[in-house]
Copies of this chain bind each other. A is one copy, B any other.
Amino acid sequence: MRFAKRSFDRLGGTALVFAPLLAWLAMVTLAAAAEPLPSWNDGPARRAILGFVSRTTTPGSPDFLEPAARIAVFDNDGTLWPETPLPFQARFVVDELERMAGDHPEWRENPAITAALAGDVASVLRSGPGQGMMLLEATHAGITVDEFENRVRRWLDTARHPVWGRRYSDLAYQPMLEVLDFLRANGFTPFIVSGGGADFMRVWAEEVYGIPPNQVIGSYGKVRYELRDDRPVLVKEGGIEMLDDREGKPVGIHRFIGRRPVACFGNSDGDQAMLEWTTIGREPAFGLIVHHTDAVRESAYDAHQPISGKLVTALEAAPRRGWVVVDMARDWKVVFKPVTEAGE
């Protein structure tokens, strides 16, 4: 018994104490051994991302950045998930109009709503900001922020994308999810900086991208606080108080983050100002443009995108500014995250 007891002390006891330490060591070793960005083909884009992260996070490197400075900003539509043939939030608007139409007989007299319900929301959006705003307000305003969140959540649970047949929240770009994970694993804090509605994105951004609400910057309308029957509510009043697009993006970055990012990921001319704000005259700094070149797996567009996502001047400026241009067809092994039973 004495021998057994000593054996336990020397072997089992030690093992018990060391077990968590060993498990942790194994995890760290495995994580270090796993190739980062596995859905990216080896090429200049992948190597540029790896190189930037390596030189900004290696102690002693002249480009080393303290974790607090490792701020990365991401456009959403067209950068983290698709925006063609229509931005997802526009699809939400159309689906909501359909769901609510029975309670709004007056909508039958409204040409913009009628066109949208007939499936031609693109022409409504092209006809000018006033008409699009009207559709937006019909589906986004006059309700509490809680009720709006419930509506977005219900839509996400039930709607399927007409082209890919999957839940919208399953259509994030797998290679970009890996960039988010890789940056986070290296002490970066990612923020979304999108022209999309902040209240819309925050419902699903944590689940889809792992990005919490206070790191989601988007466009927003007026909101009013009031006590209703002694309960506090916030009511979405409509209008656009901030349009977080083009020159509005650096303004939004300043307003919400309060410091300049060191890495910026976008896909259109709407992201050019924040690419400039992140990179010009700054070192180290990183800018990347996702160029939609893959007509087979997603869609191919740049100059001729009619509604959102036009890419002309930012693409032209990229070589001069040192921005990395991702060729989706060539650089990405897969576009969407793999279909899993849980996800479908």
Contacts and interface: CB of A to CB of B under 8 A. Distances in A.
Contact of A234 (B68, B250, B280, B281): B250
Chain A: number of interface residues, binned into ranges: 35 or more
A324 interface: no
A325 to B, nearest CB: 20
Contacts of A212: 68, 258
B280 A254 contact: no
A223 interface: yes
A225 B247 contact: yes
Interface in A209-250: 212-216, 220, 223-227, 230-232, 234, 241, 247-248, 250
Interface in A276-318: 276-277, 280-281
A70 to B, nearest CB: 12
Contact of A232 (B220, B227, B280): B280
Given A225-B273, A254-B145, A255-B198, A281 B231 contact: yes
Nearest to A220: B255
A221 to B, nearest CB: 10
A257 interface: yes
A226 to B, nearest CB: 8
Interface string A53-70: 000000000000000100
Contacts of A230: 280
A115 interface: no
Given A231-B280, A231-B281, A280-B230, A259 B223 contact: no
A216 B231 CA distance: 26
B277 A225 contact: yes
A46 interface: no
A242 to B, nearest CB: 8
22 contacts: A21-B21, A145-B254, A202-B258, A212-B258, A213-B257, A213-B258, A214-B214, A214-B257, A214-B258, A223-B254, A223-B255, A224-B247, A225-B247, A225-B248, A225-B273, A225-B277, A227-B280, A231-B281, A232-B273, A232-B281, A234-B254, A241-B241
